[in-house]
Amino acid sequence: MKKNVKLNGQLRLYVRWPLYLTVLLIGMNIWIYLISHDAGIVMAAFVAVYAVAAGILYVRHRPVLYTELVSFATRYGQIQKNLLKELVLPYALLTEEGKIIWMNRQFMEITGKGPEYSRSISSVIPELSRKLLPVDGQPQTSVEFSYGEADYRADMKLICMSEDTGRGRLAGPMEFEGNLIALYLFDITEINRYIRENREQRMAAGLVYIDNYDEALENVEEIKSSILVALIERKINKYFNAYDGIVRKLEKDRFFVVMKEKALTQIRENKFDLLQEIKTVNIGNEMRITLSISVGSGGASYMDCMEYARSAMDLALARGGDQAVVKTKEQITYYGGKTQQVEKNTRVKARVKAQALREIIAAKDKVVVMGHQLTDADSFGAAVGIYRASKALNKKAYIVVNEVTTSVRPMLEEFNAANSAETGIVVNNSQAQEIVDRNTAVVVVDTDRPSYTECQQILSMTPTVVVFDHHRRGNESITQAVLSYIEPNASSACEMVAEILQYFSDNVRLKSGEADCMYGGIVIDTNNFMTKTGVRTFEAAAYLRRCGADVTRVRKMFRDDMAEYKARAEAVRHAEVYKGFALSVCPSKGLVSPTIVGAQTANELLNIIGVRASIILTEYNGKVYVSARSIDEVNVQVIMEKIGGGGHLNIAGAQLHCSVEEAMKTIRQTLDDMIEEGELE
């Protein structure tokens, strides 16, 4: 014991101070001896007696002192152990691997385990997996979880066992070498309940628009029209009043709604069933009433919630209406949107957008037009239309195309033939970045997602960005556009641009080759005028025919290559019908544009009886491209949005960074989840 026990710090100084004082007295004795010989001798005698006495006391009482110190430390350690054992806070010690080696009484009561339990902590609390345990680089971690009916926060700290501590003795004779993990459990049930109650009491702002107010009342008798309006208002008021919400009418077809977060949670669980209930209102109106609902919640203030609601309403309307959009600071959630938006015959919006586009281009020196990556017929055709509009104002114009696919190559050749006098019209990514400056207008067609564009970098190189797109707007969009024309009820971007050209300027004269490109874009996106075709689609096609578009030339442009035809046949041959969905993988080996072939395969599978929708996977350039098509039974857009894509009700797609097998598994799981949750009927 004497050899092993050592005193350190202040305690050692306190025990040895008589010895240190002896040295001081000897020094004083020498100084006195130099002054007085007799006084020095007397002082030396006293110092000698003091040194002998101090030495004897130190040697004789040191073992007793050590024994008392050890006894005190033992009693103190036992008290500490008892305190930890009886500590109100649940506490446990773990090995670095997460194995339980000791726990106090509170921890045992919570987990229901005895003192002899020595398995991994994850076997008791699954949330505390080994990867969440603290390590040298991260000595402290915290995890929240639910256990039984209570919520807990687990704070874990790594205890480094240095060499000075030697071997720690735990639980009697057991010896442990290495580091320990101290685990504390804090009951946060009450805190979470207060947080939840506070969140549920927050106010959420909402807007409700009647999508087709004028169209629905157009063919209703004057006497019945007021009754129809009253029924719609009563339906809306009754619905939100049931959730303790307040509704106030802003205009004839617009309402403002205020509700608690708790009510919003219930409405979201019911998937905004008002969207379906409102369609049952009928007193002779030929057209069913549809609503667009937006809700903003989770804002720091009521103004923030209102701004979220306005932004969400813009999304709902841009996506075609008949749906609800809930926007928070972190995310945007969509509900409904299962019906096709009613096409409006009025062209007022197209005329206004055409005039705005003319003013923008007229104020710039150059115009750069680009579509989405892997430019298709619709994207290139729309770019050609914007190019011709720019040339009508005598502006330099360029079209960005990085990779020429088989579907675009014949269109590009015809476009170049029609503009043989000019060179350098079609540029790639790097060339576009050299062209664009602050005095350039960048026009994006057939997409509203910056990450999907041919050259995303040029969007930030100029303050003037214009967007023309016919897809439903998603979470990602070009926010800095000075002019944005999103028309989900249009069949194609070429249809939109064709309408724009008719109001843009009297000097716009499409060449026959350019008209062929735009006509071909409409043909491809409408699947030969069989999908998503309206009155305005045929009017745009008629305008292009008057400009010189030739149906025979367009048909020749899109004839199939033999390899592509065989690949499409192979994909159809191996297709399987899964819960009404035709699923298949399109081979891409040896094909120049496999994604186009995949989209064509998806269209062909719709001709099979019993197929509600088709989903084709195509592996290309390290990605898996998903093409989804339907006729009228299924909204494939909401399916694609679940996996990060988007599009239209009948035409949608996505890009996945995984293997084909993983992509097919994801598709099947998504379909299963949506069918189970009632999102797919």
pLDDT digits (tens, 9 = 90+) for 585-604: 999 888 877 888 888 899 88
Q: Is 115 helix (H, G, I), strand (E, B) or coil?
A: coil
Instruction: Domain 348-557: give its CATH superfamily.
Output: inorganic pyrophosphatase (n-terminal core) (3.90.1640.10)
Residue 2 has pLDDT above 50, yes or no: no
Give the pLDDT of residue 57: 73
| CA distances in angstroms from 353 to 319, 497, 504, 521, 653, listed in the order given | 18, 10, 9, 21, 28
Q: CA-CA distance, 105 to 263, in Å (whole number)? A: 42
Q: Return the ∠ at Cα 337 (arms to 662 and 586), rounded to 5°.
A: 30
Residue pLDDT, tens place only, 292-346:
999 999 888 889 999 999 988 888 887 778 889 999 888 888 887 665 555 555 5
- Give span(s): CATH 3.10.310.30, the chain: 564-676
Q: Provide the CA 668 distance to its chain's centre, in angstroms.
A: 21
Q: CA-CA distance, 568 to 588, in Å (whole number)? A: 10
Residue 174 has pLDDT above 50, yes or no: no
Q: Is 80 helix (H, G, I), strand (E, B) or coil?
A: helix
Q: CA-CA distance, 518 to 521, in Å (whole number)? A: 5
- Range 589-592, long-range pairs (CB < 8 A, 24+ positions): 590/563, 591/563, 591/564, 591/567, 592/405, 592/406, 592/561
Give the pLDDT of residue 279: 87
- Which has more pLDDT, 137 or 277? 277
616, amino acid identity? I
Mean pLDDT of 445-452: 89
Tokens of 128: 């505390």
Mean pLDDT of 265-269: 89
- Give span(s): CATH 3.90.1640.10, the chain: 348-557
- Give span(s): CATH 3.30.70.270, the chain: 202-336
Closest CA to 403 of 428, 381, 430: 428
CATH top-level class for 564-676? Answer: alpha beta
Residue pLDDT, tens place only, 537-554:
899 999 999 999 988 888
Q: CA-CA distance, 616 to 582, in Å (whole number)? A: 8
Q: CA-CA distance, 441 to 466, in Å (whole number)? A: 7
Q: Is 643 helix (H, G, I), strand (E, B) or coil?
A: coil
Pick the CATH number of 202-336 from 3.30.70.360, 3.30.40.10, 3.40.50.2300, 3.30.70.270: 3.30.70.270
Q: Which CATH architecture has domain 91-194?
A: 2-Layer Sandwich (3.30)
Mean pLDDT of 236-260: 92
Q: Is 246 helix (H, G, I), strand (E, B) or coil?
A: strand
Give the pLDDT of residue 625: 92
Share of the chain above pLDDT 90, in %: 26
Residue pLDDT, tens place only, 601-657:
998 898 888 898 999 999 988 889 999 998 877 888 888 888 888 877 788 888 888
Give the pLDDT of residue 622: 85
- Which of the four pLDDT bands, split at 50, 70 and 90, describes residue 13? low
Residue 164 has pLDDT above 70, yes or no: no
Give the pLDDT of residue 254: 92
Residue 172 has pLDDT above 60, yes or no: no
